Amino acid sequence: MQIYKVDNSDTLKKVLSQSLGILIEVDKQREIYFIDNVKFHIDNVKGLGLFVEIEAIDSDESISKKKLLEQCNEYLKLFNIPKSDLVSVSYSDLLLKQN
């Protein structure tokens, strides 16, 4: 993954909007929490409701993929989130499906 810092996000948004267009805008409020190497996004998405994203992070390649998945599954179980509630598409996809 590449991350590029911009000095003026409004200018970048204008350039990208003009060149690519805007399919849909996602309006959300996000809170971020960490427990050790696990990151939690608590999102309130306008028109969709509340979501939690659980992301186990291996910043130095010292944790196996299997262990990272186990960590995520532990929190799914702890928070009583059934597999049937998991979403595999983006918020924009969900909003487009509604329209």
Q: Model pTM greater than 0.85? A: no
How far, CA to CA in Å, does 87 sit from each of 49, 68, 82, 94? 13, 18, 11, 9
Average pLDDT, the chain: 94
Contacts of 34 by beta carbon, 8 Å cutoff, 6+ apart: 40
Three-state DSSP state, 52: strand
The CATH number of 28-98 is 2.40.320.10
Average pLDDT over residues 2-18: 89
Pairwise CA distance, residues 58 & 88, whole Å: 21
Can you give the pLDDT at residue 2?
Answer: 80
Dihedral sign for Cα atoms in the order 3, 55, 67, 94: negative
